[in-house]
Amino acid sequence: MTLLEARDVALSFGQTPALRGATLSAQPGEIVAIMGPSGSGKSTLLHCLAGILVPDQGEIWFDGQRIDTMNESRRSLLRRDRFGFVFQFGQLVPELTAEENVALPLLLGGVRRPAALRRARPWFERLGLAGLERRRSGELSGGQAQRVALARGLVAEPGVLFADEPTGALDTLTGEQVMDLLVSSAREQGTTVVVVTHEARVAAYADRQVVVRDGKVNALVTA
């Protein structure tokens, strides 16, 4: 069974073709790494799969629904309710505490504040962040902030977690800790993960690695 699929997707930004016939699918619970050189179309592919960008050609399917033809408000609800996101720079809301940041997807989904905070709190213990619940993002290290962002990406138990260079701003050791936690938490919940990275070490955590070159997807062939 396929949970998420891009079929023969093409997308240009003006005269610049970013994707030209990209095809990729992910099974439920599968962790897929998208590798490839800078500018090859990795982030664009992730944004198409996540319903953030709409391709010029091709189709995007999630859980039996074609999402590229949905209107923006339906796609936005789908993103809110079924997808989680982690970006390179945590992108925490600086005015909120760490626990409010983690609770945010639940609050946006209509969960009341006390219940949302109750669901957010266990993530601090689980991700080695106990005691940091009330800190603001400016008072966290890069690795701590990225673990808070990871908790925020997973707290609503999304079907798919999209991670774009989640370790890109971290040193090697901190990056590995974040990937260990990302993979173990996703597996525990059965969340499918699509992770964009240019680092082979990060991609090695995935069940399957693909390479984007010139806007097309190829299976990684190791020598």
Instruction: Pick one of 36, 153, 166, 175: the residue that binds ligand ATP (CB under 6 A).
Output: 36
Cα separation of 32 and 206, whole Å?
A: 5
Quick one: 39 or 109, whose CB is closer to ligand ATP?
39
H helices within 59-198, ranges in order? 72-82, 98-108, 113-120, 122-126, 142-154, 172-189
Quick one: 42 or 79, whose CB is closer to ligand ATP?
42
Q: Which residues have C-beta within 8 Å of that of residue 76, sequence separation ≥ 6?
A: none
Q: Is 215 exposed, middle or buried (0-12, 13-18, 19+ CB in 10 A)?
A: buried
80 binding ligand ATP? (CB under 6 A): no
**Nearest distance in Å: CB 149, ligand ATP:** 18
16 binding ligand ATP? (CB under 6 A): yes
Of the candidates 119, 19, 101, 116, which has an alpha carbon nearest to the alpha carbon of residue 60?
Answer: 19
Cα separation of 43 and 41, whole Å?
A: 6
Quick one: 34 or 104, whose CB is closer to ligand ATP?
34
Of the candidates 201, 217, 169, which has an alpha carbon nearest to the alpha carbon of residue 7?
Answer: 217
15 binding ligand ATP? (CB under 6 A): no
Which token pair is 77? 């609800």
Binding string, residues 176-205; x marks residues near ligand ATP by CB under 6 A:
----------------------x-------
Cα separation of 99 and 107, whole Å?
A: 12
Number of residues counted as binding ligand ATP (CB under 6 A) = 12
Q: In this chain, which stretch among 37-45, 57-65, 97-105, 134-142 interacts with ligand ATP, using CB under 6 A?
A: 37-45
Cα separation of 217 and 197, whole Å?
A: 14
Cα separation of 96 and 221, whole Å?
A: 44
Instruction: Pick one of 2, 39, 130, 190: the residue that binds ligand ATP (CB under 6 A).
Output: 39
Instruction: Pick one of 1, 15, 38, 110: the residue that binds ligand ATP (CB under 6 A).
Output: 38
167 binding ligand ATP? (CB under 6 A): no
Q: In this chain, which stretch among 31-39, 62-70, 110-118, 175-183 interacts with ligand ATP, using CB under 6 A?
A: 31-39
**Which residues of the shown chain bind ligand ATP in the complex (CB under 6 A)?**
13, 16, 18, 36, 38-44, 198
